[in-house]
C-alpha cells in the first residue's frame, strides 16, 4: 500500500485519486445505474471536474431497498449481536488503515483541508468503534405486572433505514448514521450528496471487506430529486435519517408521512457563541475562530453569531479581525488554514448574503468577498468574514449562511446575551465562554439548543447525543440515544 505522502503527492500531481469507486454499491458490489447515467464530481479547490460517478434513479433505489430488506430479513437482524460488533470493529480498523485514501478523497470532493479530512476519518473510525462495543449491550426491561404475569420489553431493530447525507461532512455523517443502524441490526440504503459521493461508497466497500453481509449496506449516488426523493418515499423504508437543509427536510417530512415512516431530521443552525466579560480571553478567541472558520464555516453547528458583552467587545472583536485576516486560504490538499466552498452555487449563495448586507449598511470588518486559491488563481473560496454588530432581526443574524461569516451581536449582560442567543428559529448548538460556574450552567439550562458547549466549542465526541430543537430538527444521533433511535420497543405481557 502506498504511504501517506505518496498518496497526497500523487493526488496533487494528477488532480485526482486512483481507484475511486465508480458505481452504485448494491447487494455487495459496484454496479452502474440502470439508466447508465453518470455525473461529474468537482474539486472545489480547482473549480474543475476530477472524477465521475453513477447517477442513480428510482429503479436503482428499488433494487437497493429490496436488497436491504432481504439482508435484514434473512441475515442481519438474526446475526448474533457480538458478531455484528466484531464486523463493525473490523470496519473501524479498516477505516484507520485506509485513512489516507479516505482523507484525500474527502478533501478533493468537498474542498476541506487535508487536516480536517483526516480528523473526519478518525471520527468515523471512532464512531464504528463506539457502536461496535454497544451491539451486545442493547437490553430490554422487565415489567412489574404482578405475580400472575411475566412482562418484558424487546428492543428490536426498526428494519430498513434510509440515510440522506449532505456534502459538508460526507464521511462523518454517513458513519454516524450507518454505524448505529447496523449495530442495532438494521440494514441501510444511503444517498450521499451529489457533490460529494465518494467516501460513502468507499465506506460501503470497507464494510463489505469487514464481513458485512451483501445487501446490509447499499449506497445509491445521484441527485436529491432522482435518487433521494424515491428513497424517502419508498414503502419498504422503515426509518429515514435526513441531514440537510430545512427546506429539504420539510419536504422529506411530508413524504415520510405517506407511509408513516419514522424520521430523524438533522437540519440547519445559526448557533450563538456567548462570550462574557469574565471569560478566559485566549480560550474564547481561539474557540470563536474555530467555531466559524473550521471547514470554511460549512458546518451545521458552526458558531456563526458572536454574542459578546459590551464591556469587552471592542478589543475582542479587533483581535478576531486581526486573526481572521491572517488565515491562509488554499487548495485542501495543500492544507492551508481554510479550504474551499463546496460548489459554485453555494459560493454564489454566500456572496449574496454579504451583497445584501452591504446594501443594508452592515459594517464588514474583514473579508466579505469571494476569492481564489492564491497559488493557482482557481477555485471557489470565500474570505474569512466578520460583520460588526447587527440588530436581532437582521438577515445575517436570522439566516444560516453556511460559510465563513461571523456576525457580531452586542449584549449588555448575561440575561441579554441569553435572549439574543435564543432569538432565532434555529436551536442546534450554543457555546458559552465564562469563568462563572453558576452562570454557565444557568445559561445552559435556558439555551434553546440540542447541545451546549461550555468553554470549548465543539467539546465532546461520539459519546454525546447530537441533534436539534425548533427548526434545527428532532431526534438524536450519536451516543447511546443514537443507537436506541434505530430500535423500536415491543412489550410482551404473558399471563402465567
Element (H, E) at 453: strand 451-454
Site map for ligand NAD, 287-306, x if CB under 6 A? -------------x------
By the 8 A CB rule, do 272 and 421 touch? yes
Query: In 3D, which of 276, 388, 378, 262 has the Cα closest to residue 324?
Result: 388
When asked if residue 162 is in the footprint of ligand NAD (CB under 6 A), the reply is no
Give the angle 64-70-71 at the CA atoms, nearest 5°. Answer: 90
The stretch near ligand NAD (CB under 6 A) out of 9-17, 75-83, 264-272, 410-418 is 264-272
Q: Does 116 bind ligand NAD (CB under 6 A)?
A: no
Alpha-carbon distance of 153 to 223, in angstroms, equals: 40
164 binds ligand NAD (CB under 6 A): yes
Q: State how far the Cα of 291 lies from the Cα of 183, in Å rounded to an integer.
A: 31
Site string for ligand NAD, 470-489 (x = CB under 6 A): ---x----------------
CB of 360 to ligand NAD, least distance (A): 23
CB atoms within 10 A of CB 44: 32
Catalytic residue set: 266
Q: Which is nearer to ligand NAD, 11 or 171 (CB)?
A: 171
Contact 423, 392 (CB under 8 A): yes
Is 165 or 292 the residue whose CB approaches ligand NAD more closely? 165
Alpha-carbon distance of 472 to 47, in angstroms, equals 31
Cα–Cα–Cα angle for 230, 235, 237, rounded to 5 degrees:
80
CA–centroid distance for 264 within its chain? 13
Of residues 370 and 450, the one with the C-beta less far from ligand NAD: 450
Judged by CB under 6 A, does residue 269 bind ligand NAD?
Answer: yes
User: Smaller CB distance to ligand NAD: residue 100 or 448?
Assistant: 448
Residue sitting closest to ligand NAD (CB): 224
Q: Which of 93, 115, 153, 245 contacts ligand NAD by CB under 6 A? A: 245
Which of 252, 275, 306, 341 is in the footprint of ligand NAD by CB under 6 A?
252
Q: How far is the CB of 27 from ligand NAD (least distance, A)?
A: 22
- DSSP H helices, 259-367, are 281-293, 310-326, 344-359
Say how far apart CA 259 and CA 254 lie, in whole Å: 10
Give Cβ neighbours of residue 10 (< 8 Å, ≥ 6 apart). 2, 18
Smallest gap from residue 193 Cβ to ligand NAD (A): 4
Note whether 111 binds ligand NAD by CB under 6 A. Answer: no
Shortest Cβ 213–ligand NAD spacing (Å): 25
Query: What is the C-alpha radius of gyration for the chain, rounded to an integer number of angstroms?
Result: 23
Q: Taking CB under 6 A as the rule, does residue 402 contact ligand NAD? A: yes
Q: How many residues touch ligand NAD (CB under 6 A)?
A: 31
Residues 6+ apart with CB under 8 A from 258: 233
Residues 409-428 within binding reach of ligand NAD (CB under 6 A):
428
If you search the block for the grid coordinates 449563495, which residue do you land on? Answer: 349
165 binds ligand NAD (CB under 6 A): yes
Of 95-103, 227-235, 256-264, 332-340, the segment contacting ligand NAD by CB under 6 A is 227-235
User: Per CB under 6 A, does 180 bind ligand NAD?
Assistant: no
Residue 98 grid coordinates: 485506509
State yes or no: residue 193 binds ligand NAD (CB under 6 A).
yes
Amino acid at each position: 500500500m502506498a504511504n501517506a505522502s505518496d498518496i497526497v503527492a500523487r493526488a496533487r500531481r494528477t488532480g485526482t485519486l486512483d481507484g475511486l469507486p465508480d458505481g452504485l454499491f448494491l447487494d455487495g458490489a459496484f454496479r452502474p445505474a440502470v439508466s447508465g447515467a453518470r455525473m461529474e464530481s468537482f474539486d472545489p479547490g480547482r473549480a474543475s471536474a476530477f472524477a465521475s460517478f453513477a447517477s442513480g434513479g428510482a429503479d436503482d433505489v428499488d433494487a437497493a431497498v429490496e436488497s436491504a430488506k432481504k439482508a435484514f430479513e434473512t441475515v442481519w437482524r438474526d446475526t448474533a449481536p457480538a458478531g455484528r460488533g466484531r464486523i463493525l470493529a473490523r470496519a473501524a480498523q479498516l477505516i484507520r488503515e485506509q485513512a489516507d485514501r479516505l482523507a484525500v478523497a474527502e478533501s478533493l470532493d468537498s474542498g476541506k483541508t487535508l487536516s480536517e479530512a483526516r480528523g473526519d476519518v478518525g471520527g468515523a473510525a471512532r464512531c464504528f468503534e463506539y457502536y461496535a462495543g454497544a451491539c451486545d449491550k442493547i437490553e430490554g426491561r422487565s415489567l412489574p405486572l404482578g405475580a400472575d404475569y411475566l412482562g418484558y420489553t424487546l428492543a428490536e431493530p426498526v428494519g430498513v433505514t434510509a440515510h440522506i447525507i449532505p456534502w459538508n461532512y460526507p464521511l462523518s455523517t454517513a458513519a454516524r448514521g450507518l454505524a448505529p443502524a447496523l449495530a442495532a441490526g438494521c440494514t441501510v440504503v444511503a444517498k450521499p450528496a451529489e457533490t460529494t459521493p465518494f467516501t460513502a461508497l468507499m465506506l460501503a466497500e470497507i464494510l463489505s471487506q469487514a464481513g458485512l453481509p451483501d445487501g446490509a449496506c447499499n449506497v445509491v449516488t445521484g441527485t436529491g430529486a432522482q435518487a433521494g426523493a424515491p428513497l424517502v418515499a419508498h414503502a419498504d423504508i422503515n426509518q429515514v435519517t435526513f441531514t440537510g437543509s430545512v427546506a429539504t427536510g420539510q419536504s422529506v417530512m411530508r413524504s415520510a408521512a405517506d407511509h408513516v415512516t419514522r424520521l430523524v431530521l438533522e437540519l440547519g443552525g445559526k448557533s450563538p457563541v456567548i462570550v462574557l466579560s469574565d471569560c478566559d480571553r485566549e480560550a474564547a478567541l481561539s474557540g470563536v475562530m474555530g467555531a466559524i472558520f473550521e471547514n470554511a464555516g460549512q458546518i451545521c453547528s458552526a458558531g456563526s453569531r458572536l454574542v459578546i458583552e459590551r464591556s469587552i467587545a471592542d478589543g475582542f472583536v479587533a483581535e478576531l479581525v486581526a486573526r481572521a485576516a491572517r488565515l491562509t486560504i488554499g487548495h485542501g490538499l495543500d492544507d492551508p488554514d481554510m479550504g474551499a466552498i463546496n460548489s459554485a452555487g453555494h459560493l454564489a449563495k454566500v456572496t449574496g448574503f454579504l451583497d445584501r448586507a452591504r446594501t443594508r449598511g452592515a459594517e464588514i470588518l474583514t473579508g466579505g468577498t469571494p476569492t481564489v486559491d492564491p497559488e493557482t488563481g482557481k477555485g471557489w473560496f470565500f474570505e474569512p468574514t466578520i460583520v460588526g454588530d447587527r440588530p436581532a432581526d437582521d438577515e445575517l443574524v436570522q439566516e444560516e449562511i453556511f460559510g465563513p461569516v461571523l456576525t457580531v451581536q452586542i449584549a449588555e449582560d448575561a440575561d441579554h446575551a441569553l435572549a439574543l442567543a435564543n432569538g432565532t428559529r434555529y436551536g442546534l448548538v450554543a457555546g458559552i465562554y465564562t469563568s462563572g460556574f453558576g452562570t454557565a450552567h444557568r445559561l445552559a439550562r435556558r439555551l434553546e439548543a440540542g447541545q451546549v458547549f461550555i468553554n470549548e466549542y465543539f467539546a465532546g465526541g461520539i459519546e454525546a447525543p447530537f441533534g436539534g430543537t425548533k427548526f434545527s430538527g428532532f431526534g438524536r444521533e450519536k451516543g447511546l440515544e443514537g443507537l436506541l433511535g434505530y430500535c423500536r420497543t415491543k412489550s410482551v405481557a404473558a399471563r402465567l
